[in-house]
Amino acid sequence: MILYNKIDRRELKLRLFQEDFDRRTLSFYCFVEIDDPQKYRDELFLKLSEMKVFGRIYVAREGINAQISVPLPEFDRFKAYIKQHPYTLDVLLNEAIEDNGKSFYKLKILVKYKILSDGLDNSTFDIYDVGKHLDAESYNQKLSEPETVVIDLRNHYEHEVGHFENAILPDVDTYKESIPVIVELLKEKQPKNIMLYCTGGIRCEKFSAYLRHQGFEHVFQLKGGVINYAHQVRELEIESKFKGKNFVFDDRMGERVTNDVIARCHQCGEPADVHVNCANDACHLLFIQCEKCAEKYRNCCSEACKSIIQLPVEEQIQLRKGKVHANAHHKSRYDNLKKINIRVD
């Protein structure tokens, strides 16, 4: 019985591009009490492997958080399994806005202490007493009400390429970092309405419950996050108050919601909103790069990294042995960009 992937990633990526069927990328989550996370994890791995599902899934006692791609020939079977399982009966299957079917190349399911790294103690508040969910139309209407603040619960590199108009955009690396910052801000502002949004809804779910515990009564959250909002905007043909791209945590790096390009290339300052990882594996810094700079720097973040990737592979490996690159602890930070002489106007 195989419960983990044992095949090299290069082989897996090759197999993915050789598939003769299409895939559908989607995400889902739910906060539900899971008595034996390891047992459920193993069951999930076996079932999804049968259907050739790829992706990244976290399972914990507090619930499940999944970002996956499902073969279209198996989609009905997958949906039936998820909708019939007692843990996931009522989950919203959030389908990708833009999908090339190449978002994931293997299945990885991990048992975690939490499905969301938030630093909160679940025993101190009711995680099921959440804010009111709003659809796209209702969310747009509520945004126009007086004494209303809209808060982006995503990290700085996510909201840099796309966000709601007039949203508060915390300059943080992680969701955990943003929680005390936002709570302090709200205590100072004391708004009538608090509007939350994130990529797919999971961060809003937990944080809205925490805000209610903190005494904030009028807390609203975007149902299904930006992903579901974008689908509804298109289906209903209403104005999108979200401008730009929606950052996603898979090989696509982003989904376009509107044609607005609100970010700039970190190397030349020209309008751009394509996230890339530095081609130097010893760096791997996440940054925004335009096509011209991608060609000039050969998909690297700096001249230094460009020179390294031109060395023989064996020499590159030797150079990075036993070293932890300074950028490894940050997805993408302006201080790191400045250190390697990238323009960050």
Question: Catalytic site residues?
Answer: 198
Taking the C-alpha atoms of residue 153 and residue 202, their distance in angstroms, rounded to an integer, is 10
Instruction: Find out whether 80 and 94 touch, Cβ atoms under 8 Å.
Output: no
Angle between helices 202-213 and 175-189 (to 10 degrees): 40
Nearest-Å Rg of the Cα atoms of the chain is: 21
Partners of 68 in beta bridges: 26, 55
Residue 330: in which H helix or E strand, if any? none
What is the 3-class SS of 12-50, one letter each residue? HHHHHHHCCCCEEEEEEEEECCCCCHHHHHHHHHHHHHH
The two tokens of residue 318 are: 């030797």
Taking the C-alpha atoms of residue 118 and residue 175, their distance in angstroms, rounded to an integer, is 6
Taking the C-alpha atoms of residue 27 and residue 198, their distance in angstroms, rounded to an integer, is 13
Question: Where would I find the H helices in the chain?
Answer: 9-18, 37-50, 75-84, 136-143, 156-159, 175-189, 202-213, 225-236, 291-296, 303-309, 313-320, 334-339
Count CB atoms within 10 A of the CB of residue 71: 18
Taking the C-alpha atoms of residue 109 and residue 127, their distance in angstroms, rounded to an integer, is 23
Closest C-alpha among 137, 149, 109, 171 to residue 240: 137
